[in-house]
Amino acid sequence: MHTFTLYKCAYRVNKHNAYYPQRVKVSSAEDLRGVVMNDHAAATYRNNHRFIDDFIKSDCIMLDLDNDHSDDPVDWKTPDDVAAIFPGVEFYAVESRSHMKVKDGKAARPKHHYYFPINTVTDIEEYRRLKEWILSIFPYFDRNAKDVARMFYGVENPRVYHYGGETNAD
């Protein structure tokens, strides 16, 4: 099992917060569950300030999939689909706070956040390229997820799924 680092704050669903001071090493679904109840980010930032110019490093690619690419349930993607595209790659999936809820006038559908452990990256462009590479392989992930200062809102009662693998996403 690969470990990775997330940073959380004391809030849930605070779009104005940019301060993520609580560093948590994740090595299990239970560890991840404890983080994702609060808003969180997947990079170390100078002074814990989540801002592109303050990026220091990351050991996790964090992406989301809202299944907004189609209104046909047959086309919707699940964590099992992600596992099939990335065989042998370890990742976690967490149902987002909008999972199976009507949003923006679209029918309820599966919505998940994904966490891929990677080797530590300190170059912001390399980190961006890794995200782009994953998006090129599986284009159903949210294109806005390539933002290196991405954060996810916390989930009140998170359901966490672990997909074991012998390798990291990079």
- Whether 17 maps to a domain, the answer reads yes
pLDDT score for 78: 97
CATH number for the domain spanning 64: value is: 3.90.920
pLDDT score for 128: 95
Q: How far apart are CA 154 and CA 10, in angstroms?
A: 10
The boundaries of the domain holding residue 84 are 4-163
pLDDT in tens, 29-61: 999 999 999 999 999 999 999 999 999 999 999
Q: How far apart are CA 79 and CA 112, in angstroms?
A: 8
Q: Which amino acid is at 19?
A: Y
- Whether 168 maps to a domain, the answer reads no
Domain tally for the chain?
1
- Whether 170 maps to a domain, the answer reads no
- Whether 58 maps to a domain, the answer reads yes
- Whether 169 maps to a domain, the answer reads no
pLDDT in tens, 61-115: 999 999 999 999 999 999 999 999 999 999 999 999 999 999 888 999 999 999 9
pLDDT score for 82: 98
Q: How far apart are CA 16 and CA 119, in angstroms?
A: 30
- Whether 130 maps to a domain, the answer reads yes
- Whether 22 maps to a domain, the answer reads yes
143 versus 111: which is more confidently predicted? 111
- Whether 112 maps to a domain, the answer reads yes
pTM of the model: 0.96
pLDDT tier at 144 (50, 70, 90 boundaries)? confident
Task: Judge whether 116 and 82 are in contact, CB under 8 Å.
Answer: no
* pLDDT higher than 80, residue 138: yes
pLDDT tier at 156 (50, 70, 90 boundaries)? very high
Distances (CA, A) of 156 to 3, 19, 95: 23, 20, 10
pLDDT score for 143: 87
Q: Which tokens in the block code for residue 17?
A: 């917060």
Strand 112-121 versus strand 151-152 pairing type = unpaired
End-to-end CA distance of the chain: 15
